[in-house]
Amino acid sequence: MYKIRDWIDRTKLKPRPLPNYESEEDLNTDWYWISANPLAMGLIEANLDKICWSLLSTNPAAVHILQKKPDKVNWNNLCVNTNPKIIPMLKSRIETVNWFWLSKNPIAIPLLEEYPEHINWPMLCTNPKAIHLIEANPHRIDWFNLSSNPAAIHLLEANQDKIHWAIFSYNQAIYEYDYKNMTRPFTEELMQNRFHPNNMDKFESWGYE
């Protein structure tokens, strides 16, 4: 059970729209989307003539294929691929790196630290693995984008006047466990079960007399 954090003004949050999913039939037959699906590698590997290489370049499970076909890689899209094995590929073609997208990629922090002059700071502010870089450069913070970063909840709590509430409404970290309401019904149910008359013969072994 979750609740919105106590310090958050609920009146400023915006309603979240329902996701607009493709139909199951489209997902099963559309090679454009299948190419990006890490759970579809058997199907992809058996149909390399049908896949979309642009979308395959984003697929973290397809790096072994991309490594063998560098001429087919979409290097812009590779920058959003979350498989750490893309880093050597990008280093080998550093001139092809799209720093805008790479700055958002959680696995790219070592490469971004190696080339700090290329960091796109607004996009970095969305990166949950870049908090140490963000905290070290407060003058570069883009509060609009940071409002969406779940790892920045402590910074947002300390700077509530800078929060962009429409964006913040989509931040998963606005929720926390509601321990009070989680334990109350569980405790009552546990006590009722433990001290049920059917268990009287067990009371002594449990330490009750």
What's the residue count for the chain? 209
pLDDT value at residue 194: 64
Averaged pLDDT for residues 34-47: 90
pLDDT per residue as tens digits for the range 155-205:
999 999 999 999 999 999 988 876 676 655 556 666 666 666 666 666 566
Ordered by start, the domain boundaries in the chain are: 2-15+22-192
pLDDT given at position 25 = 46
* Residue listed under structure tokens 């290097």: 75
Q: What is the pLDDT of residues 48-82, one digit of tens each?
A: 999 999 999 999 999 999 999 999 999 999 999 99
Which pLDDT value is given to residue 1? 52
Cβ atoms 102, 95 nearer than 8 A: no
Contact status, residue 34 vs residue 51, Cβ threshold 8 Å: yes
pLDDT confidence of residue 33: 86
DSSP 47-104: -TTTS-HHHHTT-GGGHHHHHH-GGG--HHHHTT---TTHHHHHHHTGGG--HHHHTT
Q: Are 81 and 63 in contact (CB under 8 A)?
A: yes
3-state percent breakdown (helix, strand, coil) of the chain, nearest 5 = 60, 5, 35
Which comes out higher in pLDDT, residue 19 or 111? 111
* Low-confidence winner among 9-23, 106-120, 191-205 (lowest mean pLDDT): 9-23
Q: What is the pLDDT of residue 15?
A: 62
Element (H, E) at 176: strand 175-177
Distant-in-sequence, close-in-space partners of 64: CB < 8 Å, separation ≥ 6: none
pLDDT of 131 > 60? The answer is: yes
Task: Determine the straight-line distance between the first and last CA of the chain, rounded to whole angstroms.
Answer: 36
Supply 55's token pair: 């979308």
177 DSSP assignment: E
pLDDT bracket for residue 10 (50, 70, 90): confident
Contact 105, 89 (CB under 8 A): no
Type of residue numbered 86: I
Q: How many CB atoms lie within 10 A of CB 191?
A: 10
Query: Which residues, including other chains, have CB under 8 Å from residue 37's CB and lie 6 or more apart?
Result: 44, 59
Q: Which residue has the tokens 């992809």?
A: 44
Tell me the pLDDT band of 4, cut-offs 50, 70 and 90.
low
User: Which range has the worst mean pLDDT, 44-48, 113-117, 137-141?
Assistant: 44-48
CA 135 to chain centroid: 20
If you search the block for the tokens 């590779």, which residue do you land on? Answer: 78
Confidence bin at 23 (pLDDT 50/70/90): very low
Tell me the pTM. 0.73
CB 145 within 8 A of CB 126: yes
